[in-house]
Structure 1
């Protein structure tokens, strides 16, 4: 009733319906030229389908209880019912040929999100997709996102560790009663050099982590390297978001958006010198740090998805996307914090990082 988004928050044991006739929140998407080519309306959908559902502790039996039964599509709307377990799921809309034309993230949590103000923005008290923000609890991880994509990827399914950095890096392939298959490795972007690049490819394959076409060069899942289309792609809104601009690819729930670069302010210093991490972030404990220079909330170190590993450094580094990218090269801006240092830097958009949403202005 209040609008559309790519993510909807829901409680357990309830029934819902959302508008499946429009993509995302229905606004513009920067300069990707996607809307000009493919439009905003979803008038070719014929059937809804549960792609995946998952809980954070890799219990496949419990993951089947996040969504209860099959979603139903009718007259431009999708109906679904949640089960008894908190977790995450993605529901897709398919056309007559069986192709996915859009998909939505369902974030099932019974713990109400609270907000804390910092640097002129109101911040969620947890990562996008997380069930809590308790240090050391696997349910605090939330989900991973390639910069500019709307669909999430699952974090590690293993407990946090304080020793061997590889023990917690376990790929999560949960699907519950869904039909999808996860692809964290082996799928490369299509060799496209003009906008809208691989956006349609990403939309049709929401569980495929798109690696760069060239294995050892390139940084973007969107287009192949050295193309001007990459440099101008405000897929998450870029600095336009400072005035409340939210794109159709923004992964945050209704009323929230990915933070622009200024929202983190001095959290990680500048591009060259980094930051006094102990002053801004407090002690490293519970596999993360509290942002004492900002909201005071805990930021878990979930690790990252890379184009080669793919999952690495769970419990040892925290990397959080902003909505902004460098117009000169297309790299996304990120806040990168470890047990020893922190830095605001450019990150390859093909990597999967965490997201902490802020309230729309």
Structure 2
């Protein structure tokens, strides 16, 4: 993937914890061709004549349903992605009580609210939970995306040999390379709607049917890095 400055970053093709819930269709995705050659047993003075018969077959309709584990910022323990689980317990809204202590003692609880970025040292007032040497944060008004080498921490859920990327890897999500609150429209700068522009593809989103914010602890918001401030009205719905 290229960022706003056309620097190249490498990501896995499948997200961490991805599994297929349903996969129907042919084991191939491109059309297949079978060629049959018909040739004379005995030719004339000019030699044997032959011809080719090609049979083309398109792949059948493919249906793929996937699900993956999801992660809340700074936590190594995965969220299940569904509210009803077959075994054990899961609490989708633990309230505005996020802290190191609670996250370690209650890996089955998703915490909402804003204590993860205020009131240190109780909350997650830290920018380096997934990168030890990161000391910068970015806001809508002040952009501090960094290319600092990632020093993996114990809170990084990635397997051995992998780590979370630097913040600069995501600057290609906007036209300006800066954080933005805009989603669609001529005055906004966030790629959207699946259209193509010179820097790359717009990002197509699927609206969640109803108002969603971090105060509600909805299951849809496990990991959000854009937007940062999520205090939306009913018409300004956060997309998943």
Tell me, yes or no, if the aligned pair for 2:111 and 2:217 is still in contact at 8 Å.
no
1:202 lines up with 2:103 in the alignment: yes
Q: Which residue of 2 aligns with 1:262?
A: 168
Structure with greater contact order relative to length (CA < 8 Å, sep ≥ 6): 1
- The CA distance in 1 between the partners of 2:229 and 2:168, in whole Å, is 16
Assess, with a 3 A threshold, how the Cα gap between structure 1 residues 117 and 253 changes in structure 2: closer, same or farther. farther
Q: 1:249 offset after TM fit, Å?
A: 0.2
Q: Which residue of 2 aligns with 1:274?
A: 189
Q: Which residue of 1 aligns with 2:93?
A: 185
Q: Which residue of 2 aligns with 1:142?
A: 68
- Written as runs of structure 1 = structure 2, the 5 A alignment for 1:300-319 is 306-312=214-220
- The CA distance in 1 between the partners of 2:229 and 2:132, in whole Å, is 14
- The CA distance in 1 between the partners of 2:191 and 2:79, in whole Å, is 31
Larger radius of gyration: 2
Tell me, yes or no, if the aligned pair for 2:150 and 2:165 is still in contact at 8 Å.
no
Assess, with a 3 A threshold, how the Cα gap between structure 1 residues 259 and 283 changes in structure 2: closer, same or farther. closer
- The CA distance in 2 between the partners of 1:305 and 1:143, in whole Å, is 20
Tell me, yes or no, if the aligned pair for 2:100 and 2:124 is still in contact at 8 Å.
no
Tell me, yes or no, if the aligned pair for 2:130 and 2:164 is still in contact at 8 Å.
yes
TM-score of the aligned structures, taking structure 1 as reference length: 0.36
1:173 lines up with 2:93 in the alignment: no
- The CA distance in 2 between the partners of 1:239 and 1:136, in whole Å, is 43
Assess, with a 3 A threshold, how the Cα gap between structure 1 residues 307 and 254 changes in structure 2: closer, same or farther. farther
What is the DSSP-based 3-state SS (H/G/I as helix, E as strand, rest coil) of the residue aligned with 2:11?
strand
What is the DSSP-based 3-state SS (H/G/I as helix, E as strand, rest coil) of the residue aligned with 1:124?
coil
Tell me, yes or no, if the aligned pair for 1:238 and 1:260 is still in contact at 8 Å.
no
TM-score of the aligned structures, taking structure 2 as reference length: 0.51
CA RMSD of aligned residues (A): 4.0
- The CA distance in 1 between the partners of 2:16 and 2:213, in whole Å, is 16
Q: 1:187 offset after TM fit, Å?
A: 4.7
Q: Which residue of 2 aligns with 1:120?
A: 8
Tell me, yes or no, if the aligned pair for 1:182 and 1:208 is still in contact at 8 Å.
yes
User: Which structure: greater strand fraction?
Assistant: 1
Assess, with a 3 A threshold, how the Cα gap between structure 1 residues 310 and 232 changes in structure 2: closer, same or farther. closer
- The CA distance in 1 between the partners of 2:75 and 2:100, in whole Å, is 8
Q: Which residue of 2 aligns with 1:131?
A: 19
| Residue deviations 1:196-253 (CA, integer Å, cap 9, x gap) | xx212211211111233xxxxxx23x47x34477544411117747313111101111
Tell me, yes or no, if the aligned pair for 2:75 and 2:157 is still in contact at 8 Å.
yes
Match of 1:237 among 110, 131, 134: 131
